[in-house]
């Protein structure tokens, strides 16, 4: 039990990650290259002037055929078309971001290139961090995202963690909304389809990945989201059996599956979620009532036979509101580390607080670093021998 507590990441480790983030400043690295490209411009203008004068000498004397070597050499040397092409090709990476109409519209509004997310993330992280994030999975890995109290940042933590994995690993990553109370997971990525988890279950023609992809929406990070029903009555009736059926399909095509759960542990769907989960991430606020709810959740799980999930759980303290009252960090961590594997903090971030589409590229560097650290914690468990599925429960 004590070994499980050794890889604990608490707020004290965040400055190390944050300092690594500060070392990477991609925009500054682009400045010199921009100035170098601007400087050759005058030479290019001079060349085009010389080309025009030569072209005129070619067009004027029609009898220049008597001296074939000169006309043949002159068209080869001016080549006026070769100068404009590189200048027109330079903006191509930006305009090519419109591979998907939703993504193109979103990036045009932000004024950022499509691939900037991956270019920016790589210099920030060390090789050690990347290796730890990319530890291999034995098959697939299911994570249940829990919280007994609403509004503490569970859904944003789900998207942030999933986007981090999707952008830095080669796996297919999907987040599933299993909240029976009209979950908002589908609103955190650009909507590309009206399909829901029930539409996926009802589709009996699924034979390949593209068939599943027709039911999901994808973020810039490559994270896919399978939304829940929008009708309250339909969402409430989402059952244990339906969740298992949906998961059976998803496990054939995705390596990492994050399930965004509701606040009720006794709902039918939670039996399937907990039975199939390889790990639990419990999200709470730093306030006293949030900590009490998290403590009650762990006690409930332990009392209902999920001791292994409790001992391996990660408690995420999400600062979803600025300036809110909170318990002392040391006291909070000291209490929960007696029950679960790690305690981790996600700082307050204006972008996450907006409640809209989550874009890793718009996060504060400390927030991005916190999601990377959380991802490393989860990845540590991926490489361990798999536990026996609890599907019989």
- Spell out the residues 6+ positions from residue 168 whose beta carbon is closer than 8 angstroms to its own: 121, 125, 130, 133, 134, 372, 375
Cβ atoms of 260 and 144 closer than 8 Å: no
What the block records as the tokens of 288 is 């006293």
Question: How many angstroms from the chain centroid is the CA of residue 129?
Answer: 16
How big is the chain by its Cα radius of gyration, in Å?
27
The residue among 242, 150, 241 whose CA lies nearest residue 196 is 242
**What's the pLDDT score for residue 127?**
92
Matching residue, tokens 């036979």: 305
Confidence (pLDDT) at 320:
82
Tell me the pLDDT tens digit for each residue of 28-71. 333 333 333 334 444 443 343 343 433 333 343 343 444 444 44
3 state DSSP class of 222? coil
**Structural contact between residues 173 and 162, judged by C-beta atoms closer than 8 angstroms:** yes
Give residue 343's pLDDT. Answer: 97
Res 144: pLDDT = 98
Dihedral sign for Cα atoms in the order 352, 121, 98, 93: positive
- The encoded tokens of residue 345 equal 């903090």
pLDDT for the residue 92: 32
Q: What pLDDT shows up at residue 389?
A: 56
Burial of residue 237 (CB within 10 Å: 0-12, 13-18, 19+) is middle
pLDDT of the residue at 236:
66
Model pTM score: 0.69
Please name the residues in contact with 256: beta carbons below 8 A apart, sequence gap of 6 or more. Answer: 137, 140, 141, 143, 162, 165, 169, 171, 172, 173, 174
Which residues of the chain carry a pLDDT beneath 50?
Answer: 1-123, 391-393
Q: What's residue 369's pLDDT?
A: 94
The pLDDT of residue 233 is: 66
Cα separation, 248 vs 140, whole angstroms: 11
DSSP one-letter string for 49-60? HHHHHHHHHHHS
| Exposed/middle/buried for residue 138 (C-beta within 10 Å: 0-12, 13-18, 19+) | exposed
All structural domains of the chain with their residue ranges: 3-25+116-382, 36-110
Q: In this predicted structure, what is the pLDDT of residue 392?
A: 43
Structural contact between residues 238 and 228, judged by C-beta atoms closer than 8 angstroms? yes
Euclidean distance between CA atoms 163 and 157, whole angstroms: 10
- Give CA–CA dist 272/282, Å, rounded: 17
Q: Which CATH code is given to the segment(s) 3-25+116-382?
A: 3.40.50.300
- Please tell me the distance from the alpha carbon of residue 353 to that of residue 321, in angstroms, as a whole number: 7
Q: Tokens in use for 141? A: 């890995």
Q: Which residue has the tokens 């896919």?
A: 224
Q: For residue 58, with 0-12 CB atoms within 10 Å meaning exposed, 13-18 middle and 19 or more buried, which class applies?
A: middle
Long-range contacts of 40-48 (CB under 8 A, 24+ apart): 44/83, 44/87, 47/83, 48/80, 48/83
pLDDT of residue 118: 41
- Would you state the pLDDT for residue 390? 54
Residues 227 and 197: their CA atoms lie apart, in Å, by: 6
């Amino acid at each position: 039990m004590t070994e499980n507590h050794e890889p604990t990441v608490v707020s004290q480790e965040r400055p190390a990650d944050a300092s690594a983030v500060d070392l990477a400043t991609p925009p500054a690295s682009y400045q010199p290259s921009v100035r170098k490209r601007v400087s050759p411009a005058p030479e290019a203008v001079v060349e085009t002037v010389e080309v025009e004068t030569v072209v005129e000498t070619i067009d004027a004397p029609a009898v220049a055929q008597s001296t074939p070597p000169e006309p043949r050499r002159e068209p080869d040397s001016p080549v006026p078309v070769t100068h404009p092409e590189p200048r027109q090709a330079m903006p191509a990476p930006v305009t090519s971001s419109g591979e998907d109409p939703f993504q193109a519209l979103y990036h045009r509004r932000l004024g950022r290139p499509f691939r900037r997310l991956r270019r920016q993330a790589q210099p920030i992280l060390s090789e050690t961090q990347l290796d730890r994030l990319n530890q291999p999975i034995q098959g697939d890995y299911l994570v249940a995202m829990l919280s007994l109290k609403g509004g503490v940042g569970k859904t944003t933590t789900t998207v942030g963690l999933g986007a981090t994995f999707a952008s830095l690993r080669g796996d297919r990553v999907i987040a599933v909304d299993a909240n029976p109370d009209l979950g908002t997971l589908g609103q955190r990525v650009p909507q590309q389809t009206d399909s829901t988890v029930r539409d996926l279950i009802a589709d009996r023609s699924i034979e390949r990945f593209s068939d599943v992809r027709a039911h999901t929406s994808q973020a810039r990070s490559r994270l896919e989201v399978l939304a829940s029903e929008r009708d309250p009555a339909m969402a409430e009736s989402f059952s244990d059996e339906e969740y298992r059926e949906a998961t059976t399909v998803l496990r054939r095509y995705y390596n990492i599956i994050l399930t965004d759960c509701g606040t009720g542990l006794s709902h039918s769907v939670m039996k399937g979620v907990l039975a199939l989960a390889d790990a639990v991430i419990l999200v709470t606020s730093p306030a006293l009532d949030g900590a009490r709810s998290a403590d009650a959740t762990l006690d409930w799980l332990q009392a209902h036979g999920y001791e292994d999930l409790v001992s391996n759980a990660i408690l995420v303290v999400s600062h979803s509101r600025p300036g809110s009252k909170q318990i002392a960090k040391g006291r909070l961590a000291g209490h929960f580390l007696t029950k679960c594997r790690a305690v981790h903090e996600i700082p307050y971030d204006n972008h996450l607080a907006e409640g809209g589409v989550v874009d890793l590229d718009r996060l504060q560097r400390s927030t991005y670093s916190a999601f990377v650290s959380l991802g490393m914690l989860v990845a540590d468990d991926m490489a361990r021998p798999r536990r026996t599925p609890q599907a019989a429960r």
